[in-house]
Amino acid sequence: MPSYLGAIGTANPVHRIAQPQIADFMAQALEFGENDTRKLRALYRVSGIAHRYSVLPDYGRANGDYTFFPNTPTLEPFPSVGQRMAVYRREALPLATEAVRECLRQVPDVAVDTITHLVTVSCTGMYAPGLDIELVQALGLRRDVRRTCVNFMGCYAAVNAVKLADAFCRADAQARVLIVSVELCTLHFQKSPEEDHLISNALFGDGAAACLVQASPLPNGVPSLALQAFHCGLEPDGHDDMAWHINDFGFEMTLSSYVPKLIQRGIRNLTDGLLASLPVELGDIRHFAIHPGGRKILETIETELGLTHDDNRHAYRVLRDYGNMSSATVLYVLRDVLAHATPADAGAPVLSFAFGPGLTMEAMLLEISFTNEHLTFNEQAQEETQQGALTATKPLPELLNVN
């Protein structure tokens, strides 16, 4: 039997900054001349991002009056790792707590003392005693809640958190897992004109997401996602094209323009590997939750898998309104899938991808569920086989009840 993911809550800092404002900040911080500034603004215009959120107001203040970066023409002395981690420690807990409360508001029958596991996810900050223990205290969770931290894995880390939650629930039908992802990517601005850093500075924003995973669907008609299958792919040739390192002045992201080509090379095999043992084919899937690592990545996947821009509409909307928030981002996309689901979508499969350092590519197949009104496609296939109703001539879309 599958486990179920649902009640996804999200939260963002108060500072919502338009992409052109951030471009102006970057041009000034990098001391760009007129020609380089024009090129930088063009990069920001084609990013597919309208706004991003940050715990720092500075990115909307191109003329100084900074609260975190020094008010000097060169931003020197540039903030150290210690200074950035101090902001992370101050800001991560309130943001994570807000996301959890938004999650739990959707399921008022779920009491916090029934949560058995807590999985925290982040790659943009860490300390100990950490966010997990602070969340136990802030939320009033049981002191014996089982805590697991998924740290420093990058944008695909939420998928590994979901895998963990699925394993917990399959092992214990009474398990109720709270996943909390919080990423403060904008703390790690790198003052460098290198292409990797220019791309990273143009994409990443701050946000948090929280969700519940349990062994049964959410009650009272609240939609959830049955976790059907996972598959991981690795493109070692991309080892140096997407990476995440700690240096003296923050965490340094390497994100080369070659990443979409690596994903192009591996995405079909990733999809085939995920679906190989399942009674569903790519052509039968109408719902997608793809991590918007960048506009070019989404377009590359569409070309390789024969998807339309509309198929990716949830990913494009999240990219436009938030940018790339590392591990939290795919949960935002899944939130939108659930927000637009209707009872007519019950039983429909959802294909989800996320990517990160390695180059790692993670895939999930989920299924939209409304309470117990619809069997999952695995359960339906098993039931029809037992009844002798499943034959080689029965059309697959009919089997899956996919419109």
Tokens of 161: 């958190």
Tokens of 98: 């807000």
Considering the domain boundaries, does residue 345 fall inside one? yes
How high is the pLDDT of residue 389?
37
Q: Report which listed range, 234-248, 287-301, 358-372, is most confident.
A: 287-301
Contacts of 290 by beta carbon, 8 Å cutoff, 6+ apart: 298, 301, 312, 315, 330, 333, 351, 352, 353
Averaged over 198-227, what is the pLDDT? Answer: 93
Q: In one letter, which amino acid is 246? A: I
How high is the pLDDT of residue 372?
54
**Signed CA dihedral, 155, 159, 165, 171: sign only:** negative
Q: At residue 346, does pLDDT exceed 70?
A: yes
Averaged over 15-43, what is the pLDDT? Answer: 96
Considering the domain boundaries, does residue 178 fall inside one? no
Average pLDDT across the chain, whole number: 89
Q: Could you tell me which of 363, 366, 365 has the C-alpha nearest to residue 232?
A: 363
Residue 240 domain boundaries: 223-400
Averaged over 2-31, what is the pLDDT? Answer: 96
**For the chain, what is the domain count?**
1
Considering the domain boundaries, does residue 282 fall inside one? yes
d(CA 90, CA 93): 7
Q: At residue 133, does pLDDT exceed 90?
A: yes
Is 155 tagged catalytic? yes
- 300-309 long-range contacts (CB < 8 A, ≥24 apart) are 300/260, 300/261, 300/263, 300/264, 300/267, 301/263, 301/267, 301/353, 303/264, 304/264, 304/267, 304/268, 305/267, 305/268, 305/271, 306/282
How many other C-beta atoms are found inside a 10 Å radius of the C-beta of residue 302? 17
How high is the pLDDT of residue 47?
96
Tokens of 236: 């070692």
Name the catalytic one among 103, 123, 155, 185. 155
Considering the domain boundaries, does residue 88 fall inside one? no
| 57: confidence class by pLDDT, cuts 50, 70, 90 | very high
Averaged over 350-359, what is the pLDDT? Answer: 92
Considering the domain boundaries, does residue 21 fall inside one? no
Q: At residue 89, does pLDDT exceed 60?
A: yes
Considering the domain boundaries, does residue 154 fall inside one? no
DSSP state of 76: P
Considering the domain boundaries, does residue 29 fall inside one? no
Considering the domain boundaries, does residue 15 fall inside one? no
* CATH number reported for the structural domain that contains residue 277 in this entry: 3.40.47.10
How high is the pLDDT of residue 342?
92
